[in-house]
Structure 1
Amino acid sequence: MADRQRYEAVYGRLRIGSARPARSVLYLVCGFPVGLVWLICCAVLLVLGLATVLFLVGIPLIAAVLLSGIPLGAVERARLRMFTGTAVPSPHAPVSGGGPRAWLRQRATERATWWELAYAVVHCALSVCDFVLVTGSLTLSLALLAAPLLRRFTPDGQVRMAVFQAHSDAQAVLLVLCGAVLLALTYLTLTRYAAARARLATRVLTRRDGGAGADHDERIGQLVRSRARILDAYDAERRRIERDLHDGAQQRLTGLIMTLGLAQLELAGGDAAARELVDKAAGEARTTLRELRELVHGIYPATLTDRGLSAALAELAEDAVLPVEAEVELAERPPEAVEAATYFVACEAMTNVTKHSAATEVRLSLRRTGTGLVLEVRDNGVGGADAESGTGLLGLADRVAVFGGTVHLSSPVGGPTLLHVEIPCGS
């Protein structure tokens, strides 16, 4: 599974037939000299090694032949990067310990080393076919396109190329049409064949054995699970703070306001200075209570806990400064952690719109697709939003990434801006 994901990550950006013809031709043609150089070097080393093996001199030479797939694999990954535009990771694990002996021991025990050697042998045979296919098809296509010109340089005015012949100008023009068709077929064939060859090379040259590669993938999995646990603990602590503020500090402030109200009644006909101080204290207490309620709502709204994500987003839209059109389509509540993440992503997105977009209207939508949630926030503002400008977009991506979700932002200068968030969740 890890090899499959690594292959898709490397090769997923390249669609079959989407590569430029020149790049495809260059990728196929350059494989021939690479394979030829590898074959000559291995043949020389192998002959010298077998001839001197009795004197122990040939053992390192034979070992070099067995490990020769490693440098060829590195060259092929560089060629793949040129062709696909995507860096191809090496399947070899970093060497633990220093010195050439440790390097040789680790490389000899890695399965990737022998996959590269097998690829090198197959590549030598395929590179010859690649070279013949490219040079032959392009030469024939270009020769057919130049048939009228070639007739002028033949003694008898006739042109013969493979199965094609031209004895007159009309037949030469027909050969030009055949050349155009053959060139189009060559384009389709070469781009698709180059893509298939790159697929094969990527799949083989990124294979890892179950040792260091599996350990690396396991460490990544542990980091992802650890980040998810941290986020769960963070959300639980936030809910605890919300409950403490709601049940403790808010209640005491409410009691204080009531006490100050009674003091106002008692001082209604008393000292004016004392009454003014009590009035001021009551006003400040009410302001503090209002700010505390806003803070508690921002920490973890009770609506989200009691009535779910649909009601919380509807309340968010109603309380927004800008006109917000909310469309929420949820037949059932998602998991609690996903609910919280989705809600706070929507809150951050609405905050960004209010502060930075200069928009006059916002559309917020949430829908369920299969086993995931899709949240979209669209505004008609000035656009130009940038994740690197400190508007909180990187924080949104980090929060969503905990669940394996993605964040896509489209914000051309002049608007509109669309934030598209996908969060997987259990059914």
Structure 2
Amino acid sequence: MEVRRQYKEARAQLRAGSARLARAVLYLVGGFPIGLVWLTCSTVLLGTGLATALFLVGIPLITAVLLSGIPLGAVERARLRMFTGIPVLSPHTPAPGSGPRAWLRHRLSERATWWELAYAVAHCVLSIGDFALVTGGLTLSLALLTTPLLRRFSPEGQVRVAVFQAHSDTQAAVLVLCGTVVLALSYLTLTRYATVRARLGTSMLTKHHNAAQADHNERIGQLVRSRARIMDAYDAERRRIERDLHDGAQQRLTSLVMTLGLARLELTEGDTTARELVDKAAEEARVTLRELRELVHGIYPATLTDRGLSAALVELAEDSAVPVEADVELAERPTEAVEAATYFVACEALANMAKHSAATEGRLSLRCTGTGLVLEVHDNGIGGADAESGTGLLGLADRVAVFGGTVHLSSPVGGPTLLHVEIPCGS
């Protein structure tokens, strides 16, 4: 069994090496006719254009030569995709206007057009060397490997391959060994050289695109950092409001309830109307205090600040209108911003469950995977949740996106519903 396994691995490696060599050969050899056609056409057009430039007839021909790198670049990007298996994007941007004149003006002003023209010139020179390298290496290898066969058809039984000669079967066997070595060297040379050529072509044919992409990525990075700063400021403002309400309005309402209680004790037994008014005012103050406490808890719960995310999620599950089982595994506390985002995502998810799902039970789990937090909220409701239906799912995605996180929702009609949220811990 071991021998068979090694045999299969060897065959697989041989097939992979043969396929790699074939791709390299096709890529290098295929560039030669393309470069030859471009060189011939460009030479004819440029010569004719220069000869007739005084009559203005040659201006379009010269312009065509200047733009001739565009079609060659498109062909080369297609060949690069076939060789590397990776799409090579065009560096050209759409013309701002309509019509041939706007397109022509835009293309002549693009740096990508001139990079493609430079690549076309370089390709013509390099493709000759590519073709010579491939044909020379493979022809020499094939000739050396077939030396015994060539001796059979030689009138005198003598074969000369380059600087090698074979007058006997022993010398022919030695040349076969030499051919094997030359084939191995050709394989290494051609495959690695083709890779270098492909990198050169990719660099020159996407140079402007890479610069534009880098600028675009930088702008995206600035926007993400700006949004993160806004969210940090927003969370800080929430905590300030929570402290102000807790230390100010809540304390005054508590004092008011106590004062009304003392006022009720001071009233005489016969003053029934005044007692009822004081009792009503005290009850309204207690209701207002309870609502204010709930509001403060929703703004930024004290449990989250004092005891961390694990305790806050367990408390949130216990207070849910739908029975929710909490499964929280968190070895250490993440940053305050990640804690707040995770908590409010869970809070919104449980609120949606209570309002829209008609579920009878749910499950909330949180775990750390090493690269980030994974929050899952599951219910056995009717499903059919849609991010576009105004259920707050878009808000969840926006809040998580600040940290580079993702939100995935599975909610087929009829249920169940699963909300899967991933937030990087390193944010």
TM superposition score normalised by structure 2: 0.64
Task: Tell which structure's C-alpha radius of gyration is larger.
Answer: 2
Where do residues 244-259 of structure 1 align in structure 2 (5 Å cutoff)?
244-259=244-259
Where do residues 1-400 of structure 1 align in structure 2 (5 Å cutoff)?
44=41, 46-56=43-53, 58=58, 60-70=60-70, 90-93=90-93, 103-104=106-107, 106-108=109-111, 113=116, 208-209=208-209, 211-400=211-400
In structure 1, the residue matched to 2:402 is 402
Deviates more, 1:329-338 or 1:264-273: 264-273
In structure 1, the residue matched to 2:169 is none
Q: 1:305 to 1:204 in 2, by over 3 A?
A: farther
Aligned residue for 1:52, secondary structure, equals helix
Deviation at 1:106, TM superposition (A): 3.5
Deviation at 1:88, TM superposition (A): 8.8
Q: What is the identity percentage for the equivalent residue pairs of Structure 1 and Structure 2? A: 72
Deviation at 1:235, TM superposition (A): 0.4
Deviation at 1:393, TM superposition (A): 0.5
Aligned residue for 1:50, secondary structure, equals helix
Q: 1:227 to 1:53 in 2, by over 3 A?
A: same
* Paired amino acid for 2:368: R
Q: 1:112 to 1:364 in 2, by over 3 A?
A: farther
* Paired amino acid for 2:305: T
* Paired amino acid for 2:394: L
Deviations 1:103-127 (A, max 9, x none): 2454136787469869998xx99xx
Q: 1:348 to 1:206 in 2, by over 3 A?
A: farther
Q: Quick one: distance in 1 between partners of 2:121 and 2:258?
A: 84
Deviation at 1:295, TM superposition (A): 0.5
> CA contact under 8 A between 1:95 and 1:106: conserved in structure 2?
no
> CA contact under 8 A between 1:69 and 1:120: conserved in structure 2?
no
Query: Which structure 1 segments of 5+ residues have no match?
Result: 1-31, 81-86, 126-198
Q: Quick one: distance in 1 between partners of 2:231 and 2:118?
A: 41
Q: Quick one: distance in 1 between partners of 2:119 and 2:37?
A: 17
Q: Quick one: distance in 2 between partners of 1:206 and 1:325?
A: 53
> CA contact under 8 A between 1:45 and 1:61: conserved in structure 2?
no
* Paired amino acid for 2:292: L
Q: Quick one: distance in 2 between partners of 1:346 and 1:118?
A: 60
Q: 1:361 to 1:117 in 2, by over 3 A?
A: farther
Deviations 1:227-274 (A, max 9, x none): 010000000001000000001000000000000111111125141111
Q: 1:68 to 1:338 in 2, by over 3 A?
A: farther
> CA contact under 8 A between 1:111 and 1:209: conserved in structure 2?
no
Deviations 1:14-58 (A, max 9, x none): xxxxxxxxxxxxxxxxxx9xxx99997985455222223244354
> CA contact under 8 A between 2:384 and 2:413: conserved in structure 1?
yes
> CA contact under 8 A between 1:72 and 1:120: conserved in structure 2?
no
Deviation at 1:370, TM superposition (A): 1.3
Query: Which structure 2 segments of 5+ residues have no match?
Result: 1-29, 81-86, 129-197
Q: Quick one: distance in 2 between partners of 1:272 and 1:120?
A: 104
RCO comparison, higher one (Cα < 8 Å, 6+): 1
* Paired amino acid for 1:312: A
Q: 1:213 to 1:234 in 2, by over 3 A?
A: same
Aligned residue for 1:370, secondary structure, equals coil
> CA contact under 8 A between 1:115 and 1:205: conserved in structure 2?
no
Q: Quick one: distance in 2 between partners of 1:111 and 1:316?
A: 62
CA RMSD of superposed structures (Å): 4.1
Q: 1:206 to 1:260 in 2, by over 3 A?
A: farther
Aligned residue for 2:346, secondary structure, equals helix
Aligned residue for 2:408, secondary structure, equals strand
> CA contact under 8 A between 1:67 and 1:117: conserved in structure 2?
no
Q: Quick one: distance in 2 between partners of 1:203 and 1:352?
A: 50
Deviates more, 1:204-213 or 1:246-255: 204-213
Q: Quick one: distance in 1 between partners of 2:88 and 2:34?
A: 22
Q: Quick one: distance in 1 between partners of 2:348 and 2:74?
A: 45
Deviation at 1:99, TM superposition (A): 5.8
In structure 1, the residue matched to 2:142 is none
> CA contact under 8 A between 2:69 and 2:113: conserved in structure 1?
no
